[in-house]
Chain A
Amino acid sequence: MSTATTRRPAPARRAAPRPGPPRLTGRRLAPYLFVLPALALFAAFKLYPIAWSFVLSLHKTIDGTDTFVGADNYTRLLDDPLFWTALKNTAVILLVQVPVMLALATGLAVAFNSAVLRARAVFRLGFFLPMVTGLVAYGVIFSVLLNEKYGLVNWLLQSVGLDAVPWLTDPLWARISLGLALTWHYTGYNAVILLARLQSIPRELYDAASVDGAGAVGAFRHVTLPGLRPALLLTTVLSTIGTLQIFDEPFILTHGGPDNATLTIGVYLYQNAFTFFDFGYASAIAYALAVLIGILGLVQFKVLGDKS
């Protein structure tokens, strides 16, 4: 049906090729037709489920039928220790792993941008490569590499005289492993975003800084960091959104364990929906998550964005 409407203007235009009203009509209609597929698909498979999800979050399945329970699922959240554990675990990743990763990415970007670095293209590519690897693939690789008894990493540690580390079986180390995996995966990607911004900082600013007697540290503080601000905002917001939704890594590496040490909101949501089939509660968790992401995004824009 929509194809018929799409085709309609074309013959009309072909009949009147000279400038004038018919061409204008086609030109006016065209953008709507161009965005129509995207909007229709988006409405059907994003907006509609978002709304449905909210309705679900107000219901509970009792004896096979959906019963309206009002805000019950939301009040249950507040008293659910596992939800709080998941929230805490996610917050720890956000407060520890994200800053470490972005600091590393900034360092890498500055190094990539340095005139004295050789084989720059090789490094840029090499550090970006983990981003291309699928989560399942690297989850599998990491779980074998980090195996406590037989893993290559512990063997390397022991061969230089250190103790074996219970990477995936001890709660604290499981968190560290998760952080390492995330850092491995995303640092290069963030570095490339930051690098693009670095390259747009005018050379003269550095020359001026050096004329003013600023050393390498001074130039970094007074020229590089302020110049990077918009890109840092972008990477921070993207990392925050990504971190709050983290699912694949803990699901593959540790299944949220041991002892729920790596249970994230994403994993808990998945468990409730697709292990316990409690869709109402899972939807409430999803909405709590959406609200959190919204609030944190706004705060970050306020804190990092205003001064640019």
Chain B
Amino acid sequence: MTPTHRAGPRAAPGRLRNSILLTWSLAIALAAVLLPFYWLVVAATRSSNEIFDSPPPLMPGGHLLDNLQSLQTTAQFGRVVLNSLLIAVIYTLCAGTVCTLAGYAFAKYRFRGRDALFGLLMLGLVIPAQVTLVPLFKMMADLEWLNTYQAVIVPNLALPFGIFLMRQSMGTIPDELLDSGRVDGCGELRLFLKVVLPPMRPALAALAIFLFLFQWNDFVWPLIVLRDSASLTIPVALASLKGVVDTDYGAIMAGTAVAAIPMAIVFLALQRHFVSGLLAGAVKE
């Protein structure tokens, strides 16, 4: 009460000035941060020559379809997009199941070895992925999985961050809810499916977006196990196009937009769940 009074009429003009100053300086910073996205739209709709015009184009042009067509001829881009989509969807479903089940068990059951097992899984967060790159590649070669979807999907299914995220979210389910389900004669699996999962929908949405993004954007691992041009994912295909002598930047930018803009839209539409889901994992100490 008192502070508000003191800050009262005298401070009001200063407050307004601060508000305008802060909002505008952040707006300018945000414009700089978003400039690459705008430039992506401009470049994706321009021919390679136009992109490197002087002065550079500032407005979108009319070459998007040409660029996509050229991607289709040089990189079988339709196939590549399909690969990316299938891999990301299958991965999200499978990894989502694995991580949710484990996260639920770690959060809601007391069992012998629980903390040790969880600690072991979290080791995966700390050990650099590069340590396993070489043997994993050899494993994939031995299994004759190179150039297959399962080579991309299977090794990352037990994603430590996903398990961590789910354990944090599952912790919010009240024990009473589980107990009342058990009293009603619900088996453990049915309890999980019918009682636990429905109220967890926002957390599951966050996990799904995270897993989908992770797989959709993943580069190093697919780069290593996918060598055949028909099996590539979008990031690998785009990277392989760059560096060719006659790099068609218009086409690459169009492919980049195809990869980035749907993600941005999905993210914007579901961000409430995504950010809050990530935060559930981030702030707990």
Contacts and interface: CB of A to CB of B under 8 A. Distances in A.
B130 A247 contact: yes
A32 B136 contact: no
A126 to B, nearest CB: 5
A50 B219 contact: no
Nearest to A17: B185
A197 B19 CA distance: 23
Interface stretch (A71-79, A92-100, A136-144): A136-144
A144 B44 CA distance: 12
B131 A286 contact: yes
Interface stretch (B62-70, B74-82, B98-106, B199-207): B98-106
B131 A37 contact: no
Chain B contact patch, size range? 35 or more
Interface in B33-50: 33-37, 39-40, 43
B44 to A, nearest CB: 10
Nearest to B19: A116
Given A35-B102, A192-B275, A133 B130 contact: no
A58 interface: no
Interface centre among A134, A151, A252 (most CB of B within 10 A): A134
B130 A245 contact: yes
A274 B128 contact: no
A145 interface: yes
Contacts of B106: 35
B43 A150 contact: no
Contacts of A141: 36, 39-40, 43, 253, 256
B282 interface: yes
A294 B182 CA distance: 43
Interface in A108-162: 108, 111, 114, 116-119, 122-130, 132-145, 147, 149-152, 155, 159
A41 B154 contact: yes
Nearest to A151: B56
Nearest to B252: A140
Interface in B145-192: 154-158, 160, 163, 182-183, 185, 187-189, 192
A134 B134 contact: no
A23 interface: yes
Contacts of A119: 23
A218 interface: no
A26 interface: yes
A110 to B, nearest CB: 10
Q: Quick one: which of A111, A116, A282 has the most chain B CB within 10 A?
A: A116
A297 B127 CA distance: 11
B30 A133 contact: no
Nearest to B100: A34
A34 B235 contact: no
Interface in B236-285: 236, 238-239, 242, 249, 252-253, 256, 259-260, 263-264, 267-268, 271, 275, 278-279, 282-283, 285
A256 interface: no
B230 interface: no
A297 B126 contact: yes
Interface in A26-40: 26-28, 30-32, 34-35, 37-39
Interface string A267-304: 00110011000010011011101100110010000000
Give the 4 A-B residue pairs with the shortest CB-CB distance, closest first: A134-B217, A31-B109, A30-B188, A34-B105
